[in-house]
Amino acid sequence: MADLYFADEGALRRYKAKKIIVSILLYTFVTLFALFMLLPFVFMLIGSLTDAKSFDEFTKTANFELIGFNKWSFSNFEAIFSGQIVNRITGATEARPSFAQYYLNTLITAVGSTAVTVVTAVLAAFAFARLEFKGKNVLFTLLLATMMIPGELMVLTNYKTTKSLDWEFTFSALIFVHGVSVFYIFYLRQTFQQIPNELYLAAKVDGVGDVGYLVKVMVPIAMPTIVTIIILSLMGAWNSYVWPLLVANGGWKYDKSYNMQLVSNGLMSLFNSDIANGLDAIKIAGSMVVTFPLFVFFLIFRKYIMKGVSRSGIKG
Partner 1 sequence: MAEKAIKLPAVNYDDIRDKKVIGKRRRISLPQWAVAWIVLIPALIFLVLFMFYPIINAFFMAFINDFEFVEGAGSFALGSFFKSLEEPCVNWNLFHPDVCDMYRRMPSFGFNNFVYLFQDAHFPATIANTAILVVVEVPLTIIVSLVIASFLNNIKALKGLYQTIFFLPYVTNAIALGLVFNMLFSHTPGGIINVIITGLGGKPVNFLNPSAYEYWVGDELKAVLPPASKFNQAIVIVTNSVWSGIAFKILVFMAGLATIDKQYTDAAKIDGSSGFTIWRRITLPLLSPQILYITITSFIGAFKMYSGVMSVYTNINGSGFYFGGTEGYDWMPVVGWIYKQMDPSSGNLSKPGIAAAGSLVLLAIILFITVIQFAVSKKRVHY
Residues between 27 and 56 that touch partner 1 (CB under 8 A): 27, 29-30, 33-34, 36-41, 43-44, 47
Cα–Cα distance, 177 to 243 (Å, whole number): 9
For residue 70, the minimal CB distance to partner 1 (Å) is: 18
| Binder of partner 1 out of 16, 23, 93, 95 (CB under 8 A) | 23
57 C-beta neighbours (distance < 10 Å), count: 17
DSSP string of 134-190, one letter each residue:
TTHHHHHHHHHHHTTS-HHHHHHHHHHHHHHTT-TTSHHHHHHTT---HHHHHHHHH
Which CB atom, from 98 or from 287, has the smaller least distance to partner 1? 287
Cα–Cα distance, 168 to 160 (Å, whole number): 10
Stretch that binds partner 1, among 21-29, 71-79, 88-96, 222-230 (CB under 8 A): 21-29
Q: For partner 1, how many residues bind (rule: CB under 8 A)?
A: 107
311 in contact with partner 1 (CB under 8 A): yes
Handedness of CA 305, 307, 313, 316 (dihedral sign): negative
For residue 75, the minimal CB distance to partner 1 (Å) is: 19
- Give the angle subtended at the CA of 193 by the CAs of 190 and 196, to the nearest 5°: 150
Contact assessment for residue 128 and residue 140, using Cβ atoms and an 8 Å cutoff:
yes
| Binder of partner 1 out of 9, 69, 91, 134 (CB under 8 A) | 134
Stretch that binds partner 1, among 70-78, 150-158, 187-195, 217-225 (CB under 8 A): 150-158
User: Which residues inside 223-282 make contact with partner 1, applying CB under 8 A?
Assistant: 235, 238-239, 241-242, 245-246, 263-264, 267-268, 271-272, 280
**For residue 7, which phi and psi values (nearest 5 degrees)?**
-65, -40
Handedness of CA 106, 109, 115, 120 (dihedral sign): negative
User: Which residues inside 68-107 make contact with partner 1, applying CB under 8 A?
Assistant: none
For residue 270, the minimal CB distance to partner 1 (Å) is: 9
Which CB atom, from 171 or from 298, has the smaller least distance to partner 1? 298
| Binder of partner 1 out of 120, 195, 215, 217 (CB under 8 A) | 120
For residue 31, the minimal CB distance to partner 1 (Å) is: 8
Residue type, 192: F
294 in contact with partner 1 (CB under 8 A): yes
287 in contact with partner 1 (CB under 8 A): yes
Residue type, 12: L
User: Which residues inside 209-228 make contact with partner 1, applying CB under 8 A?
Assistant: 209-211, 214
Cα–Cα distance, 80 to 85 (Å, whole number): 7
User: Which residues inside 162-191 make contact with partner 1, applying CB under 8 A?
Assistant: 163-164, 176-180, 182, 185
**For residue 250, which phi and psi values (nearest 5 degrees)?**
95, -165
Which CB atom, from 43 or from 74, has the smaller least distance to partner 1? 43
